[in-house]
Structure 1
Amino acid sequence: MSALYPFLAPDGDAGTDLVRSTEAKAAESLELRLRVLAGLGPALAACAAAMAAAFRAGGTLFAFGNGGSSTDAQAVAQVFRTPHGTSPGVPAICLTGDAALLTALANDVAFDVVFARQLAALGRPGDVAMALSTSGGSVNVLRGLEQARRIGMVTVGLAGAGGGRMAEEGLADHLFVVPSSSVHRVQEAQTTLCHVLRELAGRERAGT
């Protein structure tokens, strides 16, 4: 236990070490998010404009990912559905929200296609597909983006580290890579990016 959490070691000052550890992680997270936002400003604006145009035309947002990224995708769908100021909510669906459908596709077909098959059935040209992955290499996420491209959807990708195959294969019209190998820091920064996109797309849609 002490090797994983040294601030809990019985011979240490647990309270002081815990505070220091928390402060260091918070500072690291904040620095990364500010750096990412500073470097991606123009790209975020361009993506938000494309998303706003899709929503004005009646488009739906489909968000998807695995594990923690699945939870983040659920949060993204909720954030976009919720009205914010003068900006109304938009139709937004998380593709991991239907457990029966997800497990049926995984069991009867293959887990690699759980997002692609849903997009093939639900997606329309001009809709928005937002894929979240810390590695950029999840096969089912990549296949989801490939299917979205075939349909003619606006594709948005969020990845960590070097972007993985998502970046290498150019699968997203708008790609945001968080330069970190820490899953925690990547997910924190991706959450911030999604909230910024919601804010910018709402303003663009409202013309403010």
Structure 2
Amino acid sequence: MVIEELYEHQQTLQKVIETLTGDIEFACKMIADCIKAGNKVLIAGNGGSAADAQHIAAELSGRFVKERRALPGIALTVDTSALTAIANDYGYDHVFSRQVEALARPDDLFIGISTSGNSQGILNAFSAATNAGCKTLGLSGRDGGKMNSICDLNIVVPANVTARIQEMHILIGHILCKAVDDLF
């Protein structure tokens, strides 16, 4: 069982290397340009993708590897008062879009994470980010879902197993953080 899991992870990584290197490089440029211009990165996802959003935001505001100044990486998944108030008043599908409306400014970067690419709350947040003038980056899997047509760049991990998709998402998140570290 263990060896099969490791081989499946390795096969997914190999597919990512073969098919997504250019997209990941472009995503690195997106986040680097955002940070260089003094803008912020807003990140959202549900479940395991929420944990990934928080992880990436923490690497920006804390540090990844290199000692550098704190950077504005904000996970929209952590304010329980906002999440529950918005869910209560507007419905769960709006918990991220309302926060994007409140926090996003032109040329900020919104990163939405959804393994299916079809999470309605994430799709609504992409719409709000676009309306605010943000750049938009998706991390998805399977066939990319509806995120394919709503973000500036949707990095679609070529896998159908949620665990494999999420493993690649955090790897891509770390690569994005490395690109930011390289600015300093």
TM over 0.5: yes
Q: Give structure 2 stretches of 5+ with no counterpart.
A: none
Shift of 1:28: 0.9
Conservation of the 8 A alpha-carbon contact between 2:141 and 2:157: yes
* Count of aligned pairs: 183
Is 1:135 aligned with 2:133?
no
Cross-structure match for 1:155: 136
Shift of 1:193: 1.0
Q: Provide the identity percentage.
A: 33
SS at match of 2:110: strand
Deviations 1:33-77 (A, max 9, x none): 232133222221222112111111111111101111111111111
Conservation of the 8 A alpha-carbon contact between 1:52 and 1:202: no
SS at match of 2:78: coil
Cross-structure match for 2:77: 96
Cross-structure match for 1:188: 167
Deviations 1:130-176 (A, max 9, x none): 10001100001000011101111111101110001111xx2111210
Cross-structure match for 1:200: 179
1:76 pairs, out of 53, 56, 77, with 56
Conservation of the 8 A alpha-carbon contact between 1:51 and 1:154: no
Cross-structure match for 2:150: 171
1:48 pairs, out of 28, 53, 71, with 28
Deviations 1:113-138 (A, max 9, x none): 11111010011111110100011000
Conservation of the 8 A alpha-carbon contact between 1:159 and 1:177: yes
SS at match of 1:44: helix
Pick which of 80-89 and 131-140 moved more: 80-89
CA distance in 1 between counterparts of 2:27 and 2:179 reads 9
Q: Give structure 1 stretches of 5+ with no counterpart.
A: 1-20
SS at match of 2:112: strand
Q: Which amino acid aligns with 1:116?
A: S
Cross-structure match for 1:5: none
TM value normalised by structure 1: 0.83
Cross-structure match for 2:104: 123
Conservation of the 8 A alpha-carbon contact between 1:37 and 1:193: no
Cross-structure match for 2:44: 64
Conservation of the 8 A alpha-carbon contact between 1:33 and 1:192: no
Is 1:109 aligned with 2:90?
yes
